[in-house]
Amino acid sequence: MREIPEARLQVELSGQVALVTGASRGLGRAIAVELAANGAVVACVARNAEKLAETVAAAAAAGGQAEAFSCDVKDGSQVDRLVDALVAKWDRLDILVNNAGITRDALLAGMHDTDWDEVLDTNLRGAFLFARGASRVMMRAKYGRIINVSSVAGLIGNAGQTNYSASKAGLFGLTRSLSRELAKRRVTVNAVAPGYIESDMTETLGPVLLEEARKQIPARRLGKPAEVAAAVLFLASPAAAYITGCVLTVDGGMTG
């Protein structure tokens, strides 16, 4: 099959400040680098300082500006302090990308309470905490973009991932409800729902399961982190001002 050349989406984000959680690897890194390459100053948030440094370096290599910030996204006091620090440093917060997420896979009958709590706290509570803090800043400024990175697992479910699927489905409710609260303040709230994307997580599936996954995808391939980052970049742009409460699937047609 002939390879289709990649085309870069370009938008103007100069002067804007973005915050990306889970920015130390995978989709979070790709999103942070893409926002920085398009002019935003990006606060890269995670707990792994070494990996965050790699993201900051990648943003600089792409011609952008990014800084690393350590934060436990489940801790409300840490989140509020970080948001306050960013506003004190840059006097604004224009874009929030809630990307931080973990998995603790197990069939429900054997799932421990901690497996449920850790996934819901990181994936859903973390998004709530950052959205709450960022929305206060954005409402005052009467401008903002909040993008929640969910998953097709939240739409169609996945055996062995009741905790993960529930957390990602919860992001849809958070997105749609908050979009109604903030629309009149010119703050949009949208979600991106990736399907199978090339990443450390999908590599652990092994070749047999990956081949089965490809068969479920009409495009017959896994997506690339850059393709998810492009969707986030568009929703973060001024061009998406009239799009709010939307769930944008990036899944090669998997969910139709």
Q: Which two tokens stand for residue 44?
A: 């890269």
**Is 164 a known active-site residue?**
yes
Q: Report how far residue 27's alpha carbon sits from residue 226's, in angstroms, rounded to the nearest whole number.
A: 8
79's CB contacts (< 8 A; 6+ apart) are 71, 73, 126, 129, 130, 133
Classify residue 245 as left (phi > 0), alpha (psi -120 to 50) or beta: left
Q: Is the dihedral of CA 237, 242, 248, 250 positive or negative?
A: negative
Residue found by looking up tokens 């303040």 in the block = 185
Catalytic-labelled residue, pool 143, 164, 196, 242? 164
Closest C-alpha to 222, from 230, 231, 213: 213
Q: Which two tokens stand for residue 182?
A: 């903030």
Q: Which two tokens stand for residue 132?
A: 């709450």
Beta strands in the chain (DSSP E): 17-21, 41-46, 65-70, 95-98, 144-149, 187-194, 247-250
Counting Cα atoms < 13 Å in the Cβ hemisphere of 9 gives 20
- The number of beta carbons lying within 10 Å of the beta carbon of residue 241 is 11
Return the bridge partners of 17, or none: 41
Residues noted as catalytic: 164
